[in-house]
Amino acid sequence: MAQLLSNLFGGSKATPSAAPVGDSDFADFAEAPDPSPVPISPVTTTVGFGGPAATSAVPWTKWYNIHERHSLSEFKAEGLILSCITIVLLLHLFGARLNRAKARKWARAHAKPLADEFALVGCEGVPRFAGEKEGDGLVKALAEYNLAKGDAILKEKSLFEFATYATGRQNVAFMDVKLTLKKRFNPLMTFVEAVMGFFWDTMGSPEDTLDATIYPFDGREAQTVPGLPGAAELKARESKSSAFDGFVWAIVNKERMKGIRDERYDLSITSTKDHAKLPSWLAIMTESAEVTEAMLTPELIKAAQAAGENLDYLIISDQPTEKPRTLDETIPRKRIFLKYRLPSNNDYTNLVPIFQYFTRVADVLVQTAHFRPEVNRKLRLVRDEHIKLIKKEAEDEKAEELRLEKERLKKAKRDAELNALDAKAQKKYLEKEREKEMRKMTKRSTTRA
């Protein structure tokens, strides 16, 4: 008590505390010890080559040496990921390069046949010098231009698809060519497609193939190329010379025949036959024996034999590839199709003849594809039957639509009448409907009995 009074009235003062006035949380750090200096090891360095040694004080610690703090074993996952990315990238680049090289070799082998048969080849359009020449000089210059540019006739649509276009030929409006190659830039995808093709026939194994389609003029030069000088005279003069009768005829590799027949409607209306003049691996799909006699020329037989089993088919058709569903789809559209597999060694010596014949087959059609009325009547019979079937389906569909529309209007009228009544009248209306439906069902069961 005395001590308290002494403190209150100015008694003897207590010894001051060492802790600073302020927040008590920092009392522990009020008298922190001074940091001890880190001992520095002298490092001896040599000045100049063979010069005197000088001693300098440089701190030596592991913190500055990353190779002592870390090792490559800590980056195994990253190294594995980078290795996989590098391998995939190299395979992609290598596969894309292989596909481009294969396409260029096809272009080099077929540049001359294309230049010989067509005035313009490729997707680059008309060259600048075309306006400076005319007549035979223009034709020769265009052929030399197409042959000289060689590799440039193909357009790369993707890493496994290449295409070209050709026009400027008698009896032919234009020709489309597409190369479909294996996806060598993606080995995993190629392997998956190969496995699926092995187990399912509908999938097909990956192959290097050529698909070419020719669209003949068929007497429609003036309509196909509008603006030509003397269009009326051209229509009257050339419509007779470039037209030919429509039919479906093909030579098909027997290994591909089933799949092709299932995929294409036009070949489904033909019958399959062997021919003594053709190799054993080829068959003829035709609508008439007279058509076969006209189309199976010695040049075609020779070219097919040279092509070997790489040839898939050569098809001449005036019918759609897919089953027509409307009358507009039944209008004849004459086309010529060629498909063959590219050889693995890129040697096209045996395939160029069939491609040359393909580019000239329109001339053969114009000269020989004019059959007797009896043959044309037989060819039209199948087409007329399918047209009748399409008309019947269209009429049935229209009748069904009318029936549904009538039912919809009847239901709308009933709902309007029912909504106009009060609750008691609605109940009476529904009971009458139910009784009427019961009478109909009773009448039907009695009639059946």
Q: Residues 202-222: pLDDT tens digits?
A: 677 888 999 999 999 988 777
pLDDT of residue 38: 54
pLDDT of residue 247: 92
SS3 call for 35? coil
> DSSP of 106-166, one letter per residue?
HHHHHHHHHHHH-SEESSS-S-GGGGG--HHHHHHHHHHHHHHHGGGG-EEEETTEEEEEE
Main-chain dihedrals φ then ψ at residue 284, nearest 5 degrees: -105, 135
Is pLDDT of 135 > 70?
A: no
Torsion over CA: 283, 286, 289, 292 (sign): negative
Higher pLDDT among residues 80 and 228, named by residue: 80
Q: What is the mean pLDDT of residues 308-329?
A: 90
pLDDT of residue 329: 81
**Average pLDDT score over the chain:** 80
Higher pLDDT among residues 365 and 129, named by residue: 365
Q: What's the rounded Cα separation, in Å, for the pair 392 and 386?
A: 10
- What is the helix (H) or strand (E) element at residue 155, kind and residue range? strand 155-158
Q: Residues 51-103: pLDDT tens digits?
A: 555 555 555 555 667 777 777 888 889 989 999 999 999 999 999 999 999 99
Is pLDDT of 149 > 80?
A: no
Contacts of 45 (CB under 8 A, 6+ apart): 53, 54, 55, 56
Q: Where are the alpha helices (DSSP H) in 200-250?
A: 221-224, 231-241
Higher pLDDT among residues 254 and 130, named by residue: 254
Q: What's the rounded Cα separation, in Å, for the pair 242 and 213?
A: 18
Rg (CA), the chain: 44
pLDDT of residue 71: 79
pLDDT of residue 440: 81
Higher pLDDT among residues 318 and 241, named by residue: 318
Higher pLDDT among residues 213 and 14, named by residue: 213
Q: Residues 25-55: pLDDT tens digits?
A: 555 555 555 555 555 555 555 544 455 555 5
What residue type is assigned to position 27 of the chain? Answer: A
- Residue 292's pLDDT band, with cuts at 50, 70 and 90, is very high
Q: What is the mean pLDDT of residues 275-299?
A: 91
Strands (E), 343-427: none
Q: What's the rounded Cα separation, in Å, for the pair 181 and 412?
A: 59
* pTM of this structure: 0.71
pLDDT of residue 312: 94
> DSSP of 165-203, one letter per residue?
EEEEETTEEEEEEEEE---TT-HHHHHHHHHHHHH-TTT
Is pLDDT of 239 > 60?
A: no
- Residue 432's pLDDT band, with cuts at 50, 70 and 90, is confident
- Residue 16's pLDDT band, with cuts at 50, 70 and 90, is very low
Is pLDDT of 259 > 70?
A: yes
Q: What's the rounded Cα separation, in Å, for the pair 343 and 106?
A: 10
pLDDT of residue 3: 55
Structural domain boundaries in the chain: 82-378, 386-443
Is pLDDT of 358 > 60?
A: yes
Q: What is the mean pLDDT of residues 185-211?
A: 82
- Residue 5's pLDDT band, with cuts at 50, 70 and 90, is very low
SS3 call for 53? strand
Q: How many helices (H) and strands (E) does the chain have?
A: 14, 12
What residue type is assigned to position 280 of the chain? Answer: S
Q: What is the mean pLDDT of residues 235-254?
A: 78
**What is the largest distance, in Å, between two alpha-carbon atoms of the chain?**
146
